[in-house]
Amino acid sequence: MAHANAALTPRGRLKLARLIVEQNWPIAAAAIRFQVSWPTAKRWSQRYRELGEAGMVDRSSRPHRMPRTTPRPVIRKMVHLRWKQRLGQLEIAARLGVAASTVHLWLRRCGISRLGHVDRATGEPVRRYEHPHPGAMIHVDVKKLGNIPDQGGWRYVGRAQGKRNRIATPGKTRNAHHQPLIGTAYVHTVIDDHSRVAYAEIHDDEKADTAIGVLVRAVAWFAARNVTVERVLSDNGSAYKSHAWRDACAELGVVHKRTRPYRPQTNGKIERFHRTMTAGWAFRRLYLSESQRRKALPGWLHEYNHHRPHSAIGRQPPITRLTNLSGQYT
C-alpha cells in the first residue's frame, strides 16, 4: 500500500498510464508531468496495456521461486517433534541440523511457537537466579513414577490393554480387591544450580536412608569431576527433615537449605528438570517392562549432560560449564 507522500498512488498511476496509452503522450513528457523517472512511467503504461485498471494496484513482493526455503518434509518433522515429544526449538534445531531461528519461524507460522500451546503452563512470570560456580548449590528431590507392567503401560497400549498387562505381570502383590500392585519408582534426582549437570538414581522408596545414600554418592560423583558441593537445597519432605539427613550433611560438610513450605517454585530448577526428564525419558517411548525403562535412564542422562543444548546456559550442554574437567582441552 502506497504511503501518503508517494509520487504515484493507484489513482495517479492510472492517470499517468492513460496519458501515455490513450492520449499518446511521450513517455518522457508524462514522466516530467508526474515527476517520476522514465522507467517508472514506462512500467505503469505497459501494465495498463496488459491488465487495464487492475494492473495499477500494488503487487506482492514475494518471489515466484524460493529455492532455499525449508523443505516441507523438514517442516513436518519440526511439527512432529513439537507435538509428539514436546521438544523446544533448540533441541529440534540440533536434531534436524537447521538454525533455531528457522525452527522458531515455522513453529510460529504453525501456531505452536510456545510450549504453552501444546503443554501445561503456569502463567507466572519467571524469576531467574544462578549461583556463581559449580557446587555452590545443588538441588535434590524425588520424582515418583508408576512402574510399567510387562508388555507396556496404558499410555501407549490403552487403558484396557494396560489393565490386562498389569494383571499378567508376574511376581506382584495384590490389594484387598485382588488387583495387582505394580508399585512406584522413586527417581532421586540431583542437579547443580550453576551448570545444570544432573545426577539420578532409581529406588523403591524415598526413606531417609535411601536419600542419604543418594546424596553421598552424588557428592562423590561431583567430586570426581572436581566439583565441591557447598550447599544443598531440598523441599520439606520427611527424609530431608530427619536428624539422619542433618547429620549426613554435617559429615559431608554441606550446608542444608529447605524451600519455603508449599512453595515448589523455590526449587524450580529441579522441578523443571523433572518435566524434561519425564518427557525425554520416562514417557518418551513404549517400554515393555519397568526394567527396560530403568536401563534407559543412564543413556538419557548422558545425552542431557553432554549433548542436549540448554537454553538457560547459552544453548550449550550442561557439562560445558564444568571447566575444570580432566582432559577437557586435549
Strands (DSSP E) contained in the chain are 138-146, 184-192, 198-203, 231-234, 255-258
Which of 135, 116, 283 has its CA nearest to residue 195?
Answer: 135
Question: Residue 305 pLDDT > 90, yes or no?
Answer: yes
- DSSP track, 46-81: HHHHHHGGGGGSPPP---S--TTSPPHHHHHHHHHH
Q: Residue 323 — pLDDT band, cuts 50, 70, 90?
A: confident
Which of 243, 138, 286, 246 has its CA nearest to residue 198?
Answer: 138
Question: Residue 4 pLDDT > 70, yes or no?
Answer: no
For residue 315, the model assigns a pLDDT of 87
Q: Residue 330 — pLDDT band, cuts 50, 70, 90?
A: very low
- Please give the backbone phi and psi of residue 85, each rounded to the nearest 5 degrees, phi first: -120, 0
For residue 174, the model assigns a pLDDT of 65
pLDDT tens digit sequence for 52-74: 888 888 888 888 887 788 889 99
What are the structural domains of the chain?
A: 10-56 (no CATH), 72-117 (1.10.10), 138-147+183-321 (3.30.420.10)
For residue 116, the model assigns a pLDDT of 60
Strand 255-258 and strand 231-234: pairing?
Answer: parallel
For residue 125, the model assigns a pLDDT of 41
Share of the chain above pLDDT 90, in %: 50
Q: Which residues, other chains included, contact 299 with Cβ-Cβ below 8 Å and sequence gap of 6+?
A: none
For residue 278, the model assigns a pLDDT of 93
Alpha carbon of 136 to those of 27, 174, 231, 251, 306: distances in Å? Answer: 78, 46, 6, 17, 21
Order of strands across the sheet that contains 255-258? 198-203, 184-192, 138-146, 231-234, 255-258
For residue 324, the model assigns a pLDDT of 62
Give the residue with greater pLDDT, 180 vs 27: 27
Contact 181/173 with Cβ under 8 angstroms? yes
Looking at the chain, how many residues does it have? 330
Question: Residue 121 pLDDT > 50, yes or no?
Answer: no
Question: Residue 119 pLDDT > 60, yes or no?
Answer: no
For residue 130, the model assigns a pLDDT of 82
Which residue in the block uniquely carries the three cell numbers 534445531? Answer: 93
Q: Give the count of beta carbons closer than 10 Å to the beta carbon of residue 165.
A: 21
pLDDT tens digit sequence for 128-182: 678 889 999 999 999 999 888 888 888 888 888 888 887 777 766 666 666 667 8
